[in-house]
Chain A
């Protein structure tokens, strides 16, 4: 007999799984190449502002990917990722502002700092499930702006005012592009590397262990997987990803302030995650698009009712695509293909 807390929100059922669409490797490679080609061209044909916006989309996508690693692939809820985003951003800002360190070093530094913080947070989080973990991470997310505003740390953090960050200049051999475009390419490069790393991780043995823990923690540990180690490591990696996104955003926005990293950011990331498709790596970019553009759209329709319109759009999207964009795409693909043996196994609704 094992004791199960009565309020267990259900480990396996709580986190939906968007199974990856199985495309032939050649098809997948063509799609990725096409996407990268488009991405490379965008800043050359768009205004400065649009380039900035797409940079933001990529950054949010990366942040959402961080959350996805923890929640989508490992089944641990987090409402506190705004904290890691903020810590990453402030790491960059502090290193550049107070210690004059070059921007490209601050990004991995932010990642490292966030990894440590995430890992440390993951340790007590081991004892908490779902709902309680949500509360604990909420506390983390809530504390962060307060700590950042804390007067005793003002010398470091700039207090309520925040810190200004100098926008990086393009390197000499690329002097024909401007600062915004360089920032875009820098962000894109970092993100692509991290996307590839994440995809590799998920497909590896470690990735399978991580997913096994999400699907059935008891079975996973019975199979010899060190669940505690993997869960805390995943927390660390997840924090790392979101932290790097935060660092990149500090460079893009050229400014950090405590109130940019409130719990509402955490909620936005969660919304982006679900809309994009939990457990889907490409879905993260779609989530980023949603998080950036839909509030703007709502605002342009009516400033006073922006929140209400955003809510209605969100509801409609969730009703139409309960498994997120990735889930919807998967559904479309399976419809056009008809039933194939691989899909037949996946579409099992229950035991006969």
Chain B
């Protein structure tokens, strides 16, 4: 029982990472109605920018803020330069464009900052929380920041006009134009926001997994899985999904004999796929009822 609790808590801690990433994933999904495979690499690149600023002597929180803003701008630029030209192309072609972006970012980061592992500071410290060994202050900080971002996003989308406009533009661009919404701007805004959230995710994750160009590969996948599990239209669901994935992965690794450790990711994915077979829109996703 003690072991179970420990693993659940550890799962929550790693789950915070996935939850954060899942939030960025859902964010871009809200903006462009499908997934961006290069999301993780964008977050990784942003984190490297932050690292570089800190290495040059910039204080943590200033570097944090600058990185978030630069990431926003970069997101908008990527929308304009990379996404816009293929917007009317078939989805598979768009996916290939994202694959290209992935490759560019990954390779460039490796070239600029090389592949040696770097450490990244955390403002929360690494001391144990509540005196015990279950969770440390950084992990608690991650969970806190993720939940805070979630709350902000919720307020933005549900409570503001701009948020409503963004949701409309993503749901039905032609109808959105018919009510006067500048859909192009909304998409760009979505990209910027997703890039910023990704940057925050990266900066929270790096202290745990250590900074190197390939750090986000696994994380992004878990983030996707969490977002899909929770339901791609529900940011709260995505966060919950991210936590769930962390827990499932940890429990699988600990309790399933023989395969557990080696096939953690696969088992987690299988569990998710099984859930999706019964709840196709994710656990918290809203089912759209439409008349044929």
List residues of A whose CB falls within 8 A of some B CB: 1-10, 13-16, 71, 124, 127-129, 131-132, 135-136, 138-139, 142-143, 146-147, 149-150, 152, 218, 267, 270-271, 273-275, 278, 304-312, 314-315, 318-319, 322-324
Contacts and interface: CB of A to CB of B under 8 A. Distances in A.
A136 B277 CA distance: 10
A5 B107 contact: no
Contacts of B258: 152
Given A8-B288, A318-B93, 5 more contacts: A6-B281, A6-B286, A128-B280, A136-B276, A318-B86
A190 B289 CA distance: 48
Contact of B285 (A5, A124, A270, A319): A5
Interface in B88-108: 88-93, 95-97, 99-104, 106-108
Contact of B93 (A274, A309, A312): A274
A315 B97 contact: yes
A136 B101 CA distance: 23
A1 B102 contact: no
A143 B247 CA distance: 20
Interface string B58-69: 000000000000
A274 B107 contact: no
Contacts of A13: 90-91
Main secondary structure of the interface of B (DSSP, over half): helix
Given A16-B93, A311-B103, A136 B86 contact: no
A98 to B, nearest CB: 23
Contacts, number: 179
A16 B90 contact: yes
Contacts of B225: 135
Contact of A278 (B92, B99, B277, B289): B92
Of A10, A139, A278, most buried by chain B (CB within 10 Å of CB) is: A139
Given A7-B231, A318-B96, A311 B90 contact: no
B99 A146 contact: no
Contact of A315 (B82, B286, B289, B291): B82
Nearest to B102: A311
Interface residues of B, number: 57
A4 B110 CA distance: 43
8 contacts: A3-B288, A6-B232, A135-B272, A278-B92, A304-B111, A307-B107, A315-B82, A318-B93
Contacts of B277: 124, 127-128
B44 to A, nearest CB: 13
Contacts of A135: 224-225, 228, 269, 272-273, 276
B233 A7 contact: yes
B292 interface: yes
Given A7-B233, A9-B34, A311-B101, A139 B280 contact: no
Interface string B106-150: 111011000000000000000000000000000000000000000
Given A132-B280, A311-B100, A319 B111 contact: no
Contacts of B270: 139
Query: When A and B form their complex, which 3 residue pairs have the shortest distance between CB atoms, in order from nearest?
Result: A307-B107, A16-B90, A139-B269
Interface stretch (B12-20, B180-188, B189-197, B259-267): B259-267
Contact of A6 (B34, B103, B108, B288): B288
Contacts of A14: 90-92
A149 B261 CA distance: 13
B287 A6 contact: yes
A7 B285 contact: yes
A307 B103 contact: yes
